[in-house]
Amino acid sequence: MKLALVRLLFLVATASLFVVHAQTPAGKEIKRPAIVGVAHIRLRTDNVDAARAFYRGMLGFDETWVKGSDNNLLFTNFKVNDHQFIQVFPGLKSPTEDRLVDIAFETTDAQQLRAYLGSKGVEMADTLEPVKAKSLVSADSDIIGDFIRGISPDVALSFTVRDPDGHLVEFVQYLPRSMYAKDFGKHLGARRISERIIHVGVTVKDREAADHFYRDILGFKLQWHGGMKDEVTDWVAMRVPQGTDWLEYMLNVHDPSPRTLGVMHHFSLGVPSVKDSYQEILKRGMKDAEAPKIGRDGKWQLNLYDPDGTRAELMEPTPVEKPCCSPILLK
């Protein structure tokens, strides 16, 4: 129960979270603002020290915006670049629980995007009032109070919706005075195995429903689709409207095991050379790492797994072979 409240409060406090259903002026269409890239992925762990050994020790990402103490950690962030990070929550309840908390994309105007989604019928609450984090502090919940007291009031603007598959999807606008902006240029160590999250992947049961949400409403664009066999589509890459990052639909996934779910709910880090990254990972002590391979999209890739089984894929953005199934569309 406490962990669930912490997750809720993070969405509130990191965003001054507005939950609204926009009222569209008669005869006036609300324009969708830019969605420019992946912002973050949030994951659960049952061993923070092991997660740190992987994300900080193995992948080389500095920790920043750590909330809580060593004995009562609420969450910690591993910074990929000034606009992207991997956030880890403690408290994974069991090996069968989904590690994925949410995925997020950056927008240039969170309030307008929220209004736009409301005009398209995306379900949100009816009030335009921001939820005040301090109003959620309960006298009988010390963990909530501690959480709220550690949050800056001007972190970012964001809001969260659920996509057709029930995944939490957050849209974030970084503010000039936010803790993110104050950290620009910092915590960008030379040991970073990558400087960019190029895509995130989630399971999709109904491609048509996902396309209506991500393509028709949000403006994501088809970049590539393919599968293990030429005649079957298992993966669909949907690029953000104003950027190069993409969301990957993971199709044809039925009753996945925890291991399979960790493979499907993943993120991908762009690297100049997968082979060089592989050698660096081995030097850092990675054991039993899979050898690099060329994927069905014609790109070199290397699959790594964090201690909880979430796949961290290293990928060269440019194909070295002709992709199967469909061309890669860049416009």
Superfamily per CATH, domain 2-182: 2,3-Dihydroxybiphenyl 1,2-Dioxygenase, domain 1 (3.10.180.10)
CA angle 209, 214, 216 (to 5 degrees): 80
d(C-alpha 164, C-alpha 157), whole Å: 23
For residue 252, what are the CA distances in angstroms to 105, 123, 203, 224, 283?
24, 27, 8, 17, 36
Q: Take residue 114 and report the two structure tokens written for it.
A: 């929220």
Q: Could you tell me the end-to-end alpha-carbon distance of the chain, in angstroms, rounded to an integer?
A: 45
Residue-wise pLDDT tens for the chain (331 aa)? 444 444 444 444 443 333 333 444 555 789 999 999 999 999 999 999 999 999 999 999 999 988 776 667 788 899 999 999 999 999 888 888 999 999 999 999 999 999 999 999 998 644 333 323 332 222 233 333 333 333 444 567 889 999 999 999 999 999 888 888 889 999 999 999 999 999 999 999 999 999 999 999 999 999 999 999 999 999 999 999 999 999 999 999 999 999 999 999 999 999 999 999 999 999 999 998 999 999 999 999 999 999 999 999 999 999 999 999 999 998 7
d(C-alpha 204, C-alpha 165), whole Å: 6
- Looking only at the bridges linking them, the beta strands covering 311-315 and 300-305 are antiparallel
Q: Longest C-alpha distance within the chain, in Å?
A: 62
CATH 3.10.180.10 location in the chain: 2-182, 197-315
Q: What is the pLDDT of residues 270-280, one digit of tens each?
A: 999 999 999 99
- The 3-state DSSP class for residue 3 equals helix
- Domain 197-315: give its CATH architecture: Roll (3.10)
Q: Is 117 left (phi over 0), alpha (psi -120 to 50) or beta?
A: alpha
